[in-house]
Structure 1
Amino acid sequence: MRSLTAYQEVKQKITEDLVRGRFPMGQALPAEKDLSKELDVSIGTLRKAVDELVAEGIVVRRQGKGTFVAEHDVKRLLYYFFHVVKHDADKKINPRVDLVSLNSAIASKEEAIKLQIKEGSPVWRLINCLYLDEKCVMIDHITLDKRRFKNLTRTDFIQREGSIYQLYQMKYGQTVVRSSERLRAGLAGKQYSEWLGLKPNSPVLIIRRVALGMQDEPLEWRVSTLNTHQYEYFSELVV
C-alpha cells in the first residue's frame, strides 16, 4: 500500500476531526499557526492539505476571516447540487420540494451496492416532487441507510429549515460534499406521467446519483426522473 505524504496525513486528520464533530458546520478552523503547531507540521504542509479540502467543498475560505466548515446554505444547494433549469434560461430558479411518501423498507441488491450496506439491511425510501415555477418537473426516489438516519420522520422533512442536505447535516451530522452521477434516457410510467403532467411513455431524463460524505462514504442513493419538455439538466465545469 502506498504511504501517505505529509500533507495527505494532515488532510486525513482534519477530515477525521470534522467527521467526529470537533469542528461543527459553519465554525472556523483554528488559526493556521495554531493548527500547524498542534499537528506538528509546517504552515506550507497545512495549507496544501487545506487547499484540497477547499477544492473538495469540505471547508471554505472567507477573505480576512479564516477557513470555515462548509454549510449547505441555499447558494451551495443551487450551484453545487441542483442542476435543473428552463430551456435557454440564464439563471437557476429556487426549487420547492414536496414529500410524497416516506417508508421503512429493506435494501434491494442495487440499493445495497450503492450505499455499501448488506442486502436486506433496513433503509428509508422517500419520494419527492420537485417544483419550479409551481410546476412539478422532477421526481426523486431517495434511499437512505437507517443506521445513519435513525428515527427519521415525515415531520423532519416537512418542517425542516432549508434543503434536504441541510437536514442531513444539521440533524444527523451527515455532510454531503460531492456526488457521482450517471444520466440515461427513459420513458415515464403511468404514475410519473401524472406527477409530471406528461402523456404516458413520454421521454424523460433519468439521473442516478450517489451523494458522498467527507470520507467518500455513500450517504444517499437517488434516482431522479426529469421532465425535459421545458426543462433540462445543467452542469458547469470549472477548470
Structure 2
Amino acid sequence: MPETLGFRPLYRQVKAIFVRRLVDGVWAPGAVLPSEGQLAAEIGVSQGTVRKALDELAAENLVVRRQGRGTFVAEHDERRILFQFFKLAPDQGAPRFPDSVVLSTATGLADAGEREALDLSESDSVIRIRRLRSFGETPLIIETLSLPQKLFPGLEAGPIPNNLYSLYAGHYGVTIAHARERLKAIALTAEDAAVLGVAAGDPALQIDRLALSLDGMPVERRLSLCLTQEVHYLSDLR
C-alpha cells in the first residue's frame, strides 16, 4: 500500500520516509536498498522523485551509491568517520585515523552540563569514557565522552572499540547522522598535560562535539583536548 504523503515537496516527504526506515532499523547499516523502481511503486511516486530523495541522502552520507551494484545504507567505517567526523589532519602526509587507549570508564548521574547537552533529566545516568588517542607513538588527544546510559545499556562493561560510531549503529541501532562542534584554545591542566606528555599550561585545541542521531536526538557529548604542534583542524566548506 502506498505511504500517506503530506503537503511538503514530494521528494522531501519521500526522504522523510526513508530516514524513518533508517531510524527504525528497517534498513540496517550496509544493507542494499530496493531499486528506485521498486521504491517508487511501493510509495506511489515517480522514480525521479525517489532518485531525488536518495540523492539528498547520499549528499548527507547516509546512503552510498555504488555503480552497477545499487544503493547501500552507509556504514560508520573508518574511512567515512575520517572524512566526515574526524577533522584533525597531519601537517605532513595523508589524513589517517588515530589509535585509542581507554583510560577509564564509569557511570553516574548526569551533571548539569551533560543534562543540558544530552537533554537528560536529573535522574538520568550517563556512561563516561576517557581515552587517549595517538598517531603511532605520538599522543594527540584526550577525549572524555558522555553517553546516555539508557541508550547504550552495558556498553561500559564490554570492550570499547576504537570506532565507537560503528558500535553504536551495529549493536544499539543508533546511527550518528551529524554533529555540532565548538572550538576553543585552552591551557592544559597538570593532569591532562601529564597524560599527553607535555607541560602544564601548554596550549591545546578544545573541541566540544555534540553528536546527533538520524532523528536529531543528542546521543553523545565528546570533549577533546588536542595538541596541534604537528596537526591542524581541516574543515572542507562547501
TM over 0.5: yes
Q: Residue by residue, what CA displacement relative to the aligned partner does 1:92-127 show, whole Å, maximum 9, x if unpaired?
A: 133101111110011122211211222341111110
| Offset, 1:17 | 1.1
**How many residue pairs align between the two structures?**
233
Contact 1:108 1:120 in 2 (8 A): no
Q: Residue by residue, what CA displacement relative to the aligned partner does 1:190-211 show, whole Å, maximum 9, x if unpaired?
A: 1110111111011111001011
User: For residues 49 and 129 of structure 1, what CA distance do their matches in structure 2 show?
Assistant: 40
> Map of 1:49-68 to 2, 5 A cutoff?
49-68=53-72
Aligned counterpart for 2:122 among listed residues 112, 119, 124: 119
| Offset, 1:3 | 4.7
Aligned counterpart for 1:21 among listed residues 22, 25, 28: 25
Pairing 1:75–2:79 present: yes
User: For residues 113 and 172 of structure 1, what CA distance do their matches in structure 2 show?
Assistant: 23
Q: What SS does the corresponding residue of 2:159 show, helix, strand or coil? A: helix
Task: List runs of 5+ in structure 1 lacking aligned partners.
Answer: none
| Offset, 1:153 | 2.7
In the alignment, what sits opposite 1:221? Answer: 221
Contact 2:106 2:156 in 1 (8 A): no
Contact 2:131 2:144 in 1 (8 A): yes
User: For residues 93 and 33 of structure 1, what CA distance do their matches in structure 2 show?
Assistant: 38
Pairing 1:128–2:128 present: no
TM-score, normalisation: structure 2: 0.92
Q: Residue by residue, what CA displacement relative to the aligned partner does 1:22-74 show, whole Å, maximum 9, x if unpaired?
A: 11110111111111111111112111211111111111111111111000112
In the alignment, what sits opposite 1:11? Answer: 15
User: For residues 83 and 220 of structure 2, what CA distance do their matches in structure 1 show?
Assistant: 19
In the alignment, what sits opposite 2:202? Answer: 202
Q: What SS does the corresponding residue of 1:156 show, helix, strand or coil? A: coil
Provide closer, same or farther for how the CA distance between residues 3 and 113 of structure 1 changes in structure 2, counting only shifts above 3 A: farther
Q: What SS does the corresponding residue of 2:32 show, helix, strand or coil? A: coil
Aligned counterpart for 1:45 among listed residues 49, 61, 67: 49
In the alignment, what sits opposite 1:138? Answer: 141
User: For residues 53 and 121 of structure 2, what CA distance do their matches in structure 1 show?
Assistant: 34
**AA partner of residue 77 (structure 2):** D
Pairing 1:156–2:152 present: no
Q: Spell out structure 1 runs of 4+ moving beyond 3 A.
A: none
In the alignment, what sits opposite 2:3? Answer: none
Q: 77-86 vs 51-60, which deviates more?
A: 77-86
**AA partner of residue 99 (structure 1):** V
User: For residues 8 and 93 of structure 1, what CA distance do their matches in structure 2 show?
Assistant: 35
In the alignment, what sits opposite 1:231? Answer: 231
Contact 1:102 1:126 in 2 (8 A): yes
Aligned counterpart for 1:33 among listed residues 31, 34, 37: 37
Contact 2:143 2:222 in 1 (8 A): yes
User: For residues 234 and 191 of structure 2, what CA distance do their matches in structure 1 show?
Assistant: 25
Task: List runs of 5+ in structure 2 lacking aligned partners.
Answer: 1-5
Structure 1 vs Structure 2: percent identity of aligned residues? 35
**AA partner of residue 137 (structure 1):** L
| Offset, 1:230 | 2.5
RMSD: 1.6
